Structures are given as structure tokens and as C-alpha cells.
Structure 1
């Protein structure tokens, strides 16, 4: 079951609110000795998280299907970068990382219980009660956590205020009286949208048909660090109604310079040769963008173009304008209380 994004938290009776954790969505399935972790795409994540497979194998329950989020705590927050590093073909590296940065599974739904009973058709209120009974019978399993939930919108607003800079990705709202609707966007997700002024440090061309003139596809964004270096922090391809031909001409006149600190990387398992190609430009243009999440000093997702800022000096675009998550240790304590 997936979620569609809305702007505000729904209020009123009949809603359950949960933190939206910054991790990999995952179904954990066990049937006797057969254990598997399935990602959102339906592909297996099992080989990348051997420590979680081992933990699920130690559980007294020999049958279940849990819906939850795979996360990796680093210090007092959660690290999405540590999760990405697991998606590597070398078994030796995965083994080392599993020992150095072990994962947790934060469970928020139970689709099949320990007796093999299918719970998809049960309302959320019933599934949550079954999930809590499942955890109560488990004993202490350090690698498995029960996600907090509330029916108080005031609590959900507090969680939302902490979202966007690691650990929490927002808040999810679910109807207490609805069954589990696999494959449907039957949940609501709410994020904490903010804006930042960034320097354009480069751009990528959009894919063009043969014979057509190349035009800008995305702007590469930068912020100045404490040493005065321009670091790459993300991109925006949501350029709205901008005249792309005129923008392309302007950018091409500014070729050169670019990022002086962290720069966009080369091809990886998440990029193609085309997306790795970019054109550096002199740091002259400032743009205000809207973002929802910062992790590892970068925008986690693509940003939305809001407006040009000709009134702002590029050197004034620094990291201190990004909202860092307040008291991340308090967010992590949610899991310990759950």
C-alpha cells in the first residue's frame, strides 16, 4: 500500500498518524526457514541486509508478513547514505557494512500473523492491535522496532515539525477503518516543505530528439560552506513556465567555473552516463527552490523552482539557511518508547 502526497494533515476522528521514516520501505516475510526482505519495487533486498535476515531467523514466530521501513541509525539520527552504500555487488563489502552499521526494521503493519492468518481485509485498527500483540509475544529483538502511532493530530504536528533533515521524512495518515489496499495510494503523506536560495553551479541538457537544438533540462544547485567553497547540494528540473531556450543561451554564456567543493559525481548504480554529464557555469545566478528533505548536506529529492533572486549575492547562499533537525535524539527516543 502506497501514499499520495497532500499539503496538510487531515484532522478529525478516524485517522491514525505515524512518523514517515527515512529509509527503505520493506516487506519482511518468513515461512519457516525461508526469510525474505522485499523492496517497494518487488525486488529482494535480502542479500544486502544479512544481519536483518539473521535477526528475523532468531524470532520465535516462524510465520509472518510485516510491512515496515529498513533504516540504519548513525549516532542520534538515521543515515540514508548508509542504506545506499549497502546496494553493492561485493558480498565482502556488504558483510563489513552489516557489522559496522547494522540495520533496524521499524514495523508499522502486520499482513499475516504468526498463525498464518491473512489480515489484508482487516481494518487498520484491527491490524495494529494484532501487530502490538505480535510484538508483545516476541521478547527482546534489538533489530526490530514497533513504529509509534497516534490518533492525536497535535502529536502528528509535532512529528511533522521535526521532519526534513534526516530521520523523519514526514508524517503518514491512515484511515483506521480501511483494509490494507496493496498497490493503491490509500495512505496520505505530508512533508515539511521549506525553501532555500541556491547558486546555479552547472546544468544538464535535456534529452533531445535527433536534429533538435539542445536545451537545459535541470539546474545543478550549490551552497557555500564555511571554507568558502561551493558544494553541490542537489538539482531542480521543475522549471515550470521558464523560457528554456532563453535560459539555455544565458547559461551557455556563463560556461566555466562551477563547483569548487563537492561536485556532482560520475556514473553510479543510480545514474546513467547521460545524467553524469554536466556543464559547469560561473556562480552568477541565484535561484530560490522549495525542498522537503535534507540528508548528508544535500537535498534528498529534486527541488521545485520558485523564482530567480537577482537581489541576492551568490556568496550569501550558505548552508546556514538549511533547517537542521531539532533534537534528533528525541526523535530516536520515539523508537525506544514504542
Structure 2
């Protein structure tokens, strides 16, 4: 490629803040693969956050870029899979797209096609735009993709704080997980946390039903496995907590030993796995690292812990939950999905097509 900016380029990053800062430009925070896409004529390169090329995994995105991007351009954005039937973004389906077999890549590109949401313009023609103020880059982005057709979109943006607050509340119902705020005069600075992100934070009381040991020692807890009871009174695996100081990991290991049990009679035993229930045993082999041991030690589901989480993806926490406090006052059977705050539903198509 012969562009003003050539791959690889690390994307500009965001740091978390508690509240929406005033006086900035605001965008929805998309839940996908961060990507900088380079087009030079018939050549297209899709770069990932870690600078590794993803071009081969998304042939339908390549075709969409050729049909919609200016002939010579570099655009920062997010690759997403939009599940219109469920009216949400499907990150799990997106993860499945990273597959070594070309035949599988082709099949998935047809079954779960991806799209691209653009939110910054780094280069156009022979111009390097990274030193321009973000407000100007945003205006140029809207101009150069004014006629773009799905699955290429320009992310909505607003400079009105009230609108951003409304988006923060409403857009979660379409599978988005917060807001990104950018100063209007912000230059594009690769690999630096110069933007801010505001994400939803909530708490839930969960049952501790197992643990995995830490990679450093057999007498340290690596993560605690969390469950919630569904409407059938079945304990469903919803995620893990695993960020503990090393001393606490050893203390937890000792504390948990009296709860260690066998899989016989445990809600996440092999029988439940065979029947198709959502249990951690479904993931004992990691598709990302075949050498990673994801088996776990079952515990009698008697302890309750309060955790912080951002939002749910299906039946599970989208990201690793964070420890808040133990809840000895709560009965495990009271830890149900009914306690969770449900975001107001919002039409994903309306987010994708608004600017």
C-alpha cells in the first residue's frame, strides 16, 4: 500500500470515567472488534487493536469497503455482528468468525455477516488527517461516507450533553455498552488513552458454585464461578470473578475447602452438560488456547457474593465481574435473574442509521 498512513497502526484508546464529561462530542460505545481499515484502490487491509491483520476473516467487510470507502482512505471503527432478529449486537457470533479454516470463514460470512461502524477518518487521498481536530475529522468522515450503504455505517455523534445522557440510557437496549467522549480539538494519537469511556455499572448477588486454581500455585484461587437461578430453578453459569490480590487468593482457597464436593449432585455435572444446560463444563477446552485448562473444582452452592457488572449478553455477564462483598445474609435460592436491571429495549437499526 502507498497511503499517507500505512498499516499497522495502533488505534487511539479511551480511559474509563464515572460520569459523562461536559463540552465534548459523544458517540455510542460499540461492542465489537476495534479495527482500522486501509483501502488503496483494490487493496484492503483490516487491522486489529493489536495490529494483527483480520482481513481474511471478514471477506464480506472487504467487499463492503470496496463498494463504499473512498479509493484511498484510512478509517477507524468497529466490526460488529448485528443480530436483527434479537435486536442486539452479537459479540459471541463475532468471536466465532476468527477461524483458521477458509471454508468455515466463507460459511460464517454468509450465516453471520459482519458490518463496519466508522467513527474516525485518519487519511483521505494523499492527506494525513491525524493532526486535525476531531470535529473536523468527523465532518470529513460524514462527507466521504455520505452515500455509504449497509453494512457500512457512520456512528451517531452529538455535542449535546442531554442527548448523550439519553443515549446512555436507551442504546443499551440495542446491545451497546456505554458512551465514548472525545474533545472537539483532539488529534488522533495512536495507542494513547486520550478519549474517555463511560460504561454501565450494576451489582448482582450470585451463587459461588466452583473455582479454578491460579496458574501460579495449586493453593490459590484463580477465579470463582458464579451462578444465578432461572425460572426453572436451575442454576445457570453466568460468569466469573478473578481479580484478587495474591494473599487473598490463598485465603480464599483455604476458605473454600470445606465446600468442595463432587460433580455427583452438583448442578453443573456431566449430566447437565449432556442435556445442553449452560454450565462451565461446556468451555473446558478453550477455542482460543488449546493448552488452557478451563476445568474447575465444584463447590456446594451455599455462599453468596455481590459482584459489579456492566451488562448481560444473553444469560451471562458480557465481561468478567468484579468482587464487591460477601453476602452471608442472602440465601442462594434468592439469587435469580429477576434481580437484574433490564435495559429498555431500543431498535438497533435506529442506532445504526442515525447520525
Shift of the alpha carbon at 1:67? 0.5
Q: Is the contact made by 2:68 and 2:148 (CA closer than 8 Å) also made in structure 1?
A: no
The question of 1:80 aligning with 2:96 is answered no
CA contact (8 A) 2:42 2:66 kept: yes
> 263, 275, 291: which is aligned to 2:279?
263
CA 63–227 in structure 1, closer or farther in 2 if over 3 Å, else same: same
Distance 2:167 2:288 in 1: 30
What is the TM-score normalised by the length of structure 1? 0.92
Cross-structure match for 1:127:
137
- In 1, are the aligned partners of 2:286 and 2:292 still within 8 Å (CA)? no
The 5 Å alignment of 1:110-259 reads: 110-113=121-124, 115-136=125-146, 139-162=147-170, 167-208=175-216, 214-239=219-244, 243-256=248-261, 257-259=266-268
| TM-superposition CA deviations, 1:195-248 (whole Å, max 9, x none) | 001000111111235xxx612121111111222211111111124698443421
The answer (yes or no) to whether the contact 2:68–2:152 under 8 Å persists in 1 is no
The CA deviation at 1:320 is: 2.1
Q: Deviations over 1:97-140 (max 9, x none)?
A: 21122111010100011x2311000000110111011012xx34
TM-score calculated relative to the size of structure 2: 0.87
Paired residues of 1:2 and 1:187 also in contact (CA < 8 A)? yes
In structure 1, how many angstroms separate the alpha carbons of the residues matched to 2:310 and 2:293?
Answer: 22
Q: Once the two structures are superposed, what CA deviation does each residue of 1:16-69 show, in whole Å capped at 9, x if it has no partner?
A: 010001111111110111101111010111111110111112236211111001
Which of 88, 102, 121 pairs up with 2:113? 102
- Report the CA distance between 1:168 and its aligned residue: 0.8
Structure 1 residue 164: Cα displacement: 5.3
Which residue of structure 2 lines up, in the alignment, with residue 4 of structure 1? 15
Quote the Cα distance in structure 1 between the aligned partners of 2:308 and 2:119: 29
Alpha-carbon shift at residue 270 of structure 1 (Å): 2.9
Equivalents in 1 of 2:35, 2:49: separation in Å? 6
Aligned residues: 329
Gaps of 5+ in 1: none
The answer to whether the 8 Å contact 2:30/2:177 transfers is yes
The change in CA–CA distance for 1:315 and 1:19 in structure 2 (over 3 A counts) is same
Which of 339, 350, 354 is equivalent to 1:321? 339
**Cα RMSD for the two superposed structures:** 1.9
**Aligned pair in 2 of structure 1 residues 70, 122: CA closer, same or farther (>3 Å)?**
same
User: CA 1:2–1:222 in structure 2 vs 1: closer, same or farther (change >3 Å)?
Assistant: same
Contact 2:229 2:333 (C-alpha < 8 Å) held by counterparts: yes
